Amino acid sequence: MATCDDENVSEQAPSPPPRRNWRRLIPAPLRHSLTIFLALLVVEYLVVPKFAIAEASLHRLRHLNFAWLVAAIVLEGAALFAYALLTRRLLPSDGPSIGVVFRIDLATTAVSHVIPGGTVGSAGLGYKLMTQRGVLGTDTAFAMATQGLGSAVVLNLLLWVSLVISIPLAGAHAVYLAVALVGMLAMLAVGALVYSFTRGEESAARFVRWLGRRLPRVNGERLEASVRHIGDRLRDLWRNSDALGEAIGWATTNWLLDAACLWCFIAALGRYFDPILLFAAYGIGNVVAVIPLMPGGLGVVEVTTIGLLSASGLPPSVATLGVLGWRLVNFWLPIPVGAGCYISLRGSRSGGLVASSRSLRTMTREARPRASEIPAPDGTVPE
């Protein structure tokens, strides 16, 4: 028969420690994004090929040339590094080192591949990472704006050249003409924007001052000061032919190396496709990726590029497998690599899983830019 003392002892016995819930270490937005992207990954690499190619064509995977696969991965890494060199060239000479800029670019690329409308989120994250390392807000805004617009213009120019050469080879597809027209309009818009910053600065300043007064949480004077600073930097860049040529060169190198990565994936399947026809399909796929349906043009790039490569004479099975392999290293691989770079930038590598989780939670929070974060003339931003 149990005594009262026995009952008290049993009641006071320490309860076993609660089991650690590892789900709490991963931010909820990151868990949800991971779940969605795992589903998309399954759809893209398991479901889509079932419809796009016959099952018998998968025998090509048994005869892959691994030397071309290694070359493709190296070329994609070189393309990302060339983009970082473009970023570094547009920053002041006393800005962060190329190693830091490379990691910031990879972190922002990871964000742009995870959230819809990711370009906006990646810009907010890149802005904060740059300004936290001593770069003035106005210099950061100039570098990021010039980088994005300039890279798009270079892509459209390269695409125009490839289309002019490829039309006699593959015929004048309606999509070629439509993209050429859209690209021309886009470059005219960029030209008008650059002119407004460099030649019509007063008109642009009056417009942003008027706009700033009507937008909530936006300081019109700071917005105007930023526009004037960007105009000054654009004029300096235009006068410095060496810097302008170097920036255009790195933007061109980035696109050509990325396209070469796709070519290598197709070569790994035993097909040596015409580089001009390939770049035409590649360029159109990247141009239509600006449609904000999915982050990073997911799905849009694949369908467009595969269809155009097939229409240009590449077997559909090779086009599908080659494009999916290229997107594996072009779109999916930068996500975990960029997350690791962000953790290293936050100095959380030695803090274990908890510190890494906190860094990733901060990463998702910092990818939400606010309109109030307009730099002052001295480059500072409000807290």
pLDDT at 200 over 50: yes
Give the mean pLDDT of 76-81.
97
pLDDT at 79 over 80: yes
Report the chain's C-alpha Rg in angstroms: 25
**Range list of H helices, the chain:** 4-12, 28-42, 48-52, 66-90, 98-112, 118-131, 137-170, 174-198, 201-214, 220-239, 241-268, 275-287, 300-311, 316-327, 334-345, 352-366
C-alpha span between 126 and 246 (Å, rounded): 22
Q: Considering the chain, what is the average pLDDT of its residues? A: 74
- Give the pair of three-digit tokens for residue 83: 């983009």
pLDDT at 230 over 60: yes
Give the mean pLDDT of 152-157.
86
C-alpha span between 264 and 212 (Å, rounded): 48
C-alpha span between 218 and 199 (Å, rounded): 25
Quick: pLDDT tens for 342-359. Answer: 888 876 444 544 455 555
C-alpha span between 138 and 208 (Å, rounded): 15
Pick the more confident residue, 77 or 233: 77
Which of 154-168, 198-212, 309-323 is modeled with the greatest confidence?
309-323
pLDDT at 262 over 80: yes
- Residues written for the chain: 383
- Best CA proximity match to 225, nearest among 134, 128, 139: 139
Pick the more confident residue, 260 or 181: 260
Give the contacts of 8 (CB within 8 A, at least 6 positions apart).
none
Which of 193-207, 236-250, 330-344 is modeled with the greatest confidence?
330-344
Give the mean pLDDT of 44-53.
50
pLDDT for position 16: 47
pLDDT at 371 over 50: no
Contact 303, 195 (CB under 8 A): no
- Best CA proximity match to 186, nearest among 301, 295, 304, 287: 287
Query: How far from 9 is each of 15, 16, 80, CA to CA, in Å?
Result: 12, 15, 65
* SS3 category, 380: coil
Pick the more confident residue, 70 or 15: 70
